[in-house]
Amino acid sequence: MTGSTESSDSDVEVSVVSAATIIQLQKQIQLLKHESRDSTRTMVALRGEFALRTEQLDAKQAELDHVIKEALAEISSLRIQHDKQMEQAVAQISSLENKLILAGQQLIESLECGICANEIQNPATLRDCGHTFCRNCLMEWFSKAQDKFMAANPGYDPLERFENLTVSQAYATIHELVISNGVRDIKLKNALPLSNYPPYECPFCRTLARSSPLCVFALDALHHQVITMAGLPVKQENGNHEDHNVSWNKFFVK
């Protein structure tokens, strides 16, 4: 009896423990179910948030792609415009260079001596007509005219008729007489410097030169600059303004 009583008590205790355990496990199961439902709801919410974020990112990506496409199109358009502008600029520069070259050639040609047909060296400008020649060329031209006149007039003396006047003053005086009285008087005709003075004519227009040429220093400087830029040799005579005037004294008496 004692043995069966102990066995029965033991079974009761096991049953009590088992029931408590089962109850505890059931509570845990219920708790896990609640947690599972909460996790499911959280997962659903997260999936919805993820889908929304994905949609927003796709929209931003599409917008960014559109901006990039427009930027690339603008860059391409600007590049085309730049290329056209560069072509126009190169064409304008080329045209300007050609114009400058032509202007330089024309300027050099305008500085060409009408006697030697080369670039003018040491310009000498005739006062009466304004034409300019090489100093040495013009002196040689006047020397030939003087030699020819001296050969035809061996007794030539520019001061013979006007002892107290310079040639230019005498010419001016007689010129006024010619204007007022005409040249019908044979003595007046013979007194004209034109007939008793070497005919130093401009090689270009044949205008009579009545006084020594001018040394235009500004023209001389311009000539040197143009010749130097053109890469042509520049020949500079020694001497100053006084030397220039003295060199013409054998043709034009002061």
pLDDT tens for the chain, 254 residues long, are 555 555 555 555 556 667 788 888 888 888 888 888 888 888 888 888 899 999 999 999 999 999 999 999 999 999 999 999 999 999 999 998 888 777 767 776 777 889 998 888 888 999 999 999 999 999 999 999 988 988 888 776 655 544 445 555 555 555 555 554 444 444 444 444 444 568 899 999 999 998 889 887 777 777 677 767 766 666 555 545 445 566 788 887 65
Query: How far is it, in rounded angstroms, from Cα 59 to Cα 87?
Result: 42
Q: Which of 99, 124, 82 is nearest to 217 (CA)?
A: 124
Alpha-carbon distance of 119 to 24, in angstroms, equals: 124
* Helix, strand counts (H, E) of the chain: 6, 2
Domain membership of residue 105 (yes or no) is: no
**Which domain-ending residue is among 59, 81, 103?**
81
- Is there a domain that residue 116 lies in? no
Rounded to whole angstroms, the Cα distance separating 3 from 8 reads: 9
Tell whether 39 and 148 lie within a shared domain. no
pLDDT at site 56: 92
**What's the number of CA atoms in the CB half-sphere (13 Å) around residue 175?**
9
Question: Apex CA 88: angle with CA 86 and CA 94, to 5°?
Answer: 100
What is the reported pLDDT for 180?
A: 47
Same domain, 158 and 58: no
129 with 229, same domain?
A: yes
Q: What pLDDT score was predicted for residue 202?
A: 95
Helix (H) or strand (E) holding 71: helix 2-110
Out of 81, 108, 139, a domain closes at 81
Q: Please report which helix (H) or strand (E) contains residue 123, including its range.
A: strand 123-125
In a domain, 93, yes or no: no
Pairwise CA distance, residues 254 & 169, whole Å: 10
**Percentages helix, strand, coil for the chain, rounded to the nearest 5?**
65, 5, 30
Q: What is the pLDDT of residue 161?
A: 43
As for how many domains the chain has, the answer is 2
> CA–CA separation, 254 vs 244, rounded Å?
14
Domain containing 36 equals 1-81
Residue 180 lies in a domain: yes
CA distances from 180 to 16, 167, 174, 185 (A): 167, 20, 10, 12
pLDDT of the residue at 157: 64
Integer CA distances (angstroms), 8 to 15, 17, 113, in order: 11, 14, 151
- pLDDT tens-digit map of 212-233: 898 877 777 776 777 677 666 6
